[in-house]
Amino acid sequence: MHKKKVRTMVFLSFFVVGCFVATSYATYQVALQGVWKQITTTDLPLTSDNIYSEIQKDLLMPMFISSLMANDTFVRDWILHGEKDTQAMVRYLKQIKDRYKTFTSFFVSDRTKIYYHAEGILKTVSEYEPRDVWFFRVREMEPEFEINVDPDMANNDTMTIFVNYKVFDYNHKFIGATGVGLSVSFVKALIAKYQNQYNREIYFTDKEGKIVLYNAGTFIEGMFLKNVPGIGNYADAILNNEFYQFSYNFDNKKYFTNTRYIPELGWYLIVNQSDTVSVSKLKIILYIDILLSLLIAGIALFVSIRVLNTYQSRIEHLAQIDTLTGIANRQTFRETIEIALEHAKISQKPLSFAILDIDDFKDVNDTYGHLAGDYILVELTKRIQGVIRSGDFFARWGGEEFVVIFNDCSVNTAFEIADRIRQVAINNSIVYEKQAIVITLSIGLTSFSQHDSSIEIIKRADKALYSAKTHGKNSVCKM
């Protein structure tokens, strides 16, 4: 009986161990599938979104600076008055370069073909000079700006990312090109930072599939996407889709790839990751489970295997656009107003700011429903866009509130524009499902002084809005 009992216990022990090992292995396989799914549906898309947000902060900021330069009345007036004071333009470009810490800043006149930069006059461009082709391409292109990678003659031919922006006179006639540049080495350092932070391979290609930006040592200069091992077979699919995901096996490893098109740059962002790290962690868990099952053979073990999400920290996506109205959102506004205030300080140009609030909007929602409220917000946005100037910045602050930055605009002129916005709102009812809904606006307006911070100017506009509300609504109040 004793031997039989021992045999039974041994059998049960092996049976339990076998079951435990089988369960552990099955759990490992399920967890592996879960890791693959998480990488595909969560980790890579979040990384791509976060990098895109970082690009907007680090690379697209020069686009906004170039836009301000192209629309600066100083630049236009200086050109239209015959480019007489060369040093005035040089000082302006140097101020832009130093203030925003760009690699270079420039302006090329269409009338004289002179290339001005922060250190003086560089040269006179010619359509017969291959290195000047960019200017004549910009002059003829339909978009207002482009992003181009070229050697910078003003900085020892350092490879530079240029934001080339067209400058028009007040009759929308092309009069030159201006903008700023970032060193490619600086951008490559950003990519290296992203790769170290996320432990993923990150690079950019142009529309033809040429790899234009990457970390040092990753690719060969001039390499195309179709020549990248493992990814080359998917090159056409990547270049023909705004978003694309796939996985492939290479060198005994499984890789997952997420791509997205960045329209502002005209480039594709490629984020590539192997499952090596995640699978290694899962294998360690499997070996520990098997070891434990051997040590406690004969004892029923209930082990819960929890797959740790090593990448659970979620980076807040810097949504730049309000999804309902299609205009800039609050986060974009906070970044923009800081730049606008700095620009106003440099150029000594007036700047005004307004907060707009729909009167009794809760009553509208309660009476006609929230879908009607959303419709009103969209329609009102269109109307306001039809009133404000092209150089003004318009954003949704939240709920039924909007904000407008009136660049190069005195408070009196801004008051006239704000009052036209108010009149457009009340004079034309909004028809929703055959119901005419009348809305009014209260607007708080203020102007910028040299010592104002963004918080101070917002507080002052908000105080003016409160005054408009307490004095009967449907009005514009300035202070």
Q: Of 416, 420, 411, which Cα lies nearest the Cα of 445?
A: 411
Q: Which two tokens stand for residue 36?
A: 């693959």
- Given 146, 201, 379, 400, which residue is catalytic? 400
Secondary structure string (H, E, C) spanning the chain: CHHHHHHHHHHHHHHHHHHHHHHHHHHHHHHHHHHHHHHHHHHHHHHHHHHHHHHHHHCCHHHHHHHHHHCCHHHHHHHHCCCCCHHHHHHHHHHHHHHHCCCEEEEEECCCCEEEECCEEEEECCCCCHHHHHHHHHHHCCCCEEEEEEEEHHHCCEEEEEEEEEEECCCCCEEEEEEEEEEHHHHHHHHHHHHHHHCCEEEEECCCCEEEECCCCCCCCCCEHHHCCCCHHHHHHHHCCCEEEEEEEECCEEEEEEEEEECCCCEEEEEEEECHHHHHHHHHHHHHHHHHHHHCCCCCCCCCCCCCCCCCCCCCCCCCECCCCCCECHHHHHHHHHHHHHHHHHHCCCEEEEEEEECCHHHHHHHHCHHHHHHHHHHHHHHHHHHCCCCCEEEEEECCEEEEEEECCCHHHHHHHHHHHHHHHHHCCEEECCEEECCCEEEEEEECCCCCCHHHHHHHHHHHHHHHHHCCCCCEEEC
Can you tell me the distance from the alpha carbon of 1 to that of 308, in angstroms, rounded to the nearest whole number? Answer: 47
Active site residue 144: no
Can you tell me the distance from the alpha carbon of 251 to that of 274, in angstroms, rounded to the nearest whole number? Answer: 11
Q: Which residue bears the tokens 């470009």?
A: 93
Can you tell me the distance from the alpha carbon of 177 to that of 343, in angstroms, rounded to the nearest whole number? Answer: 19
Crossing angle for the helix pair 411-427 and 370-387, to the nearest 10 degrees: 140
Q: Which residues contact 300 (CB under 8 A, 6 or more apart)?
A: 16
Q: What is the maximum span of the chain, computed from C-alpha positions, in angstroms?
A: 114
Catalytic site residues? 400
